[in-house]
Amino acid sequence: MGFGAPPIVERTRELNDQLFTPKELRDGGMHLGAFLFRDMFCQLHAPIAFGECRIDFFRMVDLNDIQKAWLAETPDALACFVDQAADILDFGYGWTEFGHGRQLEARAKDLIWRSHVQLEAAAATATSACDFRGTVQTALLGAELALKAGLAAHGVTDKELGSRAIGHNLSAAAERLGEFEPLLDVARIQRVASRMPNFVDSRYNSPPPGRVETGHILMDAQYIASEVTRRFSDRDCRADNASAVPRAYPE
């Protein structure tokens, strides 16, 4: 199919391209995420890769060359971009490899898959929907499901996961998971959770967040999910890169 393929292969490809819309012909990925630059929602995905490769984060984000130069000249935004790219890459592979050789209950893998589905939907809504605020509920649910996947992996029952003690409480779920996973950054997750809207209130009572606030809700949810999968897989960009700078986002 690649270099040196016979002409009939190219003829077949051209014919195939006439039968499908461009979006159905695009290359897929492991997971679709989003990055907020100023007030712009940008798609950022974990690519499908085999073997050892060099991944250029700047080729993964859908900004034009001038916007990328603008981003590179803004230190805080650039640091945030690097952190989000690492989170999306770690989660994009981590959710598929959840367990990393451990024998886990099927519940745990089902919950992390559901987290991936919700977070991907949140990113797709933010980057393409007319009303980006549909992102909020799916982002919150994605973060919750990731934490509960970690708890289920340690045998925490569905009854406890659905109890008032945990329920939709991200901070409580993180604290409980920290009892099993000492390397989990519980303090940072709880700081992030404290600024995210209440899941139930956001459905009925809370005023809808603005564009930038919505972007941070999504990026915070992506961080929480990636922090969980880093504990249950061997995917950790920073641990694998000796030259990686300390995390800047979320603060």
- Residue 197 placed within a domain: yes
- Residue 229 placed within a domain: yes
Q: What confidence category does residue 2 fall into, taking pLDDT thresholds of 50, 70 and 90?
A: low
Q: How far is CA 106 from the centre of its chain?
A: 21
What tokens were used for 189? 């997750």
- Residue 210 placed within a domain: yes
Q: Which residue reads 């980006």 in tokens?
A: 132
Check whether 18 has a pLDDT greater than 80: yes
What tokens were used for 14? 């051209």
Is 40 in a helix, a strand, or coil? Answer: strand
- Residue 119 placed within a domain: yes
% of residues, the chain, pLDDT over 90: 62
- Residue 246 placed within a domain: no
Q: What confidence category does residue 27 fall into, taking pLDDT thresholds of 50, 70 and 90?
A: low
Check whether 50 has a pLDDT greater than 80: no
Neighbouring-strand partners of residue 43: 34
8, 11, 21, 22, 226 from 15: Cα distances, Å:
10, 6, 12, 13, 40
Q: Mean of the pLDDT values across residues 219-237?
A: 94
% of residues, the chain, pLDDT over 70: 98
Is 185 in a helix, a strand, or coil? Answer: coil
Q: Mean of the pLDDT values across residues 20-29?
A: 74
CA distance 136 to 143: 11
Q: Greatest CA span in the chain, whole angstroms? A: 64
Is 66 in a helix, a strand, or coil? Answer: helix
What tokens were used for 124? 């797709």
Full domain range(s) for residue 51: 21-240
Output the average pLDDT for the chain. 90
How does pLDDT run across 74-108, given as a tens digit for each residue?
999 999 999 999 999 999 999 999 988 788 889 99
Q: What confidence category does residue 110 fall into, taking pLDDT thresholds of 50, 70 and 90?
A: very high
- Residue 4 placed within a domain: no
- Residue 187 placed within a domain: yes
Q: At what angle do helices 211-231 and 186-195 cross, to 10 degrees?
A: 160
Q: What confidence category does residue 1 fall into, taking pLDDT thresholds of 50, 70 and 90?
A: low
Q: What confidence category does residue 148 fall into, taking pLDDT thresholds of 50, 70 and 90?
A: very high
State residue 54's pLDDT score. Answer: 78
- Whether the Cβ atoms of residue 135 and residue 208 lie closer than 8 Å to each other: no
Structural domain count of the chain: 1
State residue 218's pLDDT score. Answer: 96
- Residue 247 placed within a domain: no
What residues contact residue 68 under an 8 Å CB cut-off, 6+ apart?
58, 61
Q: What confidence category does residue 181 fall into, taking pLDDT thresholds of 50, 70 and 90?
A: very high
State residue 96's pLDDT score. Answer: 92
Candidate from 9-23, 43-57, 116-130, 139-153 with smallest mean pLDDT:
43-57
